[in-house]
Amino acid sequence: MPELPSDPSRRGPGDSPPLQQPPLWRQLQLTATALASIRAGTSGSVAFEAVEPALRPGVQSLGFQVLRWLGRAEALRRHLAKRTPPPLPDALLCTALALAWDAAHAPYETFTLVDQAVEAAKRNPATRAQASFINACLRRFLRERDELVAATDTEPVAQWNHPRWWIERLRRDHPRDWQRVLAADNAQAPMTLRVNARRTTAASYLTELEAAGLGATRVGASGLQLARARPVQQLPGFADGACSVQDAAAQMAAPLLLDGLLQDAAQQPLRVLDACAAPGGKTAHLLETAKPGALDVTALEVDATRSRRIDETLERLGLQAKVLVADASRPDQWWDGMPFDAILLDAPCTASGIVRRHPDVRWLRRESDTAQLAAQQAALLAALWPLVRPGGRLLYCTCSVFREEGSQQIDAFLVHNTNARLLPSPGHLLPQSGSNARGVPDNASGDHDGFFYALLEKRPR
């Protein structure tokens, strides 16, 4: 699963502008370069990391919007141009179309976007030869916008801005909700915080935020949803571990696994394994949920570079766990033979539940990835289940909305493991975008990413 970058497109009218604001044509050039790189298979986080830091927030903001409307832009481009232009001019043309197709939500006047896109083409030797072609396409688009948009409305990829296989899978998996999920995916996710219960409470941190002029509302036991996204450095006490950034659905993992077990815990600390732990968000939440000394947590991560993020997370929050770089599916290489009271398996997945925060994911995934990841998840489940003590629990979760990585995975597991019992669990939580999703009803409740949770208990012998 990719990490959670903040979505800089959520800058509001009252916020201070970025220190350095380059001309729009330059931002469009950089956005198009990032788009060309994502289309060639680079992840969004890497593509935007390549932009110089002072310009990155603005470019990422435009880039996120382009990725959310790329299906529409590509369909429009096919109507405007018989042949696909070379990758960079095509990325520039699609960037302009994605930003301008819906005038009501365009970040700039559509005429300005078109002028600046043509300027961007002229000023780059790699696109200069296509500048008049781009100009002709975009001027025609401005003249015939309504007809062109209506013509593309018949194409599901243009209408929903997801690949066709993804739309069809969602229709099959969630026949009543697929349209709501697709609409929610195209909204901007809010910035949600988890308050560090070892340091403070959600109520008193809310007061601190308000004193700092930052509006927020309570979500769940320890969550606060900010009225507007902020750089974390602006959050009171962030560097000292007062809070972390974590989606509301992800905040369900720790209490789901530990509620019930903590009350039963005798004098000994509970032995807890977080099997797929980087960057450590849920490891930290497990520790914050319990009193100091109540848990003995081992955090595993197969990727050594990513495992360093767990150490950084724990250090900032003032928490301790045993962090191991190891393959969770090979306990013979790292397990000391002592059973665990509780295991969290936050398995690698398609990340199809968090596309609001990672609008590149839908374009990068291939249909075949799902089966491959489901096989990996099944192997992890099979390897870790024997490590749970009788009467202990394993919480299986993925940030996916696909049933193959959720309910179907667990149904198959229960058939083959008769010593497992499914405890009351949320199952598939579909993404909810509260107020800012086009096509999402105003009364949609809550705001969270898509997740799947299944809490399994091993029957006592």
Where along the sequence are the contacts to ligand SAM (CB under 6 A)? 1, 276-282, 300-303, 306, 327-329, 346, 348
Residue 277 and residue 348: Cα distance in Å, rounded? 10
Q: Is the dihedral of CA 374, 378, 379, 380 positive or negative?
A: positive
The count of other CB atoms within 10 Å of the CB of residue 356 is 27
Please answer whether residues 55 and 96 qualify as being in contact, where contact means their C-beta atoms are separated by less than 8 angstroms.
Answer: no
Torsional class of 433: left (φ above 0), alpha (ψ -120 to 50), beta (otherwise): beta
Residue 106 and residue 126: Cα distance in Å, rounded? 26
Residue 2 CB, nearest distance to ligand SAM (Å)? 9
Residue 216 CB, nearest distance to ligand SAM (Å)? 21
Pick the closer one to ligand SAM by CB: 185 or 449: 449
Residue 115 CB, nearest distance to ligand SAM (Å)? 43
Pick the closer one to ligand SAM by CB: 3 or 153: 3
Torsion of CA 233, 239, 243, 248, to 10 degrees: 50
Residue 389 and residue 144: Cα distance in Å, rounded? 66
Residue 192 and residue 230: Cα distance in Å, rounded? 10
Residue 246 and residue 281: Cα distance in Å, rounded? 7
Task: Tell me the residue number closest to ligand SAM, measured at CB.
Answer: 276
Alpha helices in 69-130 (DSSP H): 70-80, 87-100, 110-123
How many alpha carbons fall within 13 Å on the CB side of residue 291?
Answer: 7
R_g over Cα of the chain: 23
Pick the closer one to ligand SAM by CB: 87 or 427: 427
Residue 405 CB, nearest distance to ligand SAM (Å)? 11
Tokens in use for 379? Answer: 């192997």
Residue 350 CB, nearest distance to ligand SAM (Å)? 11
Residue 241 CB, nearest distance to ligand SAM (Å)? 16
Secondary structure of residue 147 in the 3-state scheme: helix
Pick the closer one to ligand SAM by CB: 386 or 390: 386
Residue 166 CB, nearest distance to ligand SAM (Å)? 19
Pick the closer one to ligand SAM by CB: 148 or 399: 399
Secondary structure of residue 296 in the 3-state scheme: strand
Pick the closer one to ligand SAM by CB: 109 or 303: 303
Pick the closer one to ligand SAM by CB: 178 or 452: 452
Pick the closer one to ligand SAM by CB: 26 or 365: 365
Residue 104 CB, nearest distance to ligand SAM (Å)? 36
Mark whether 349 is an active-site residue: no
Beta-carbon contacts of residue 364 (< 8 Å; ≥ 6 apart) = 38, 41, 43, 44
CA distances from 2 to 89, 91, 267, 274, 311 (A): 28, 23, 38, 18, 18
Residue 298 and residue 130: Cα distance in Å, rounded? 56
Residue 288 and residue 285: Cα distance in Å, rounded? 5
Please tell me which residue in 94, 243, 276, 399 is annotated as part of the active site.
399
Nearest to 228 by CA among 20, 436, 32: 436
Task: Cite the active site residues.
Answer: 399
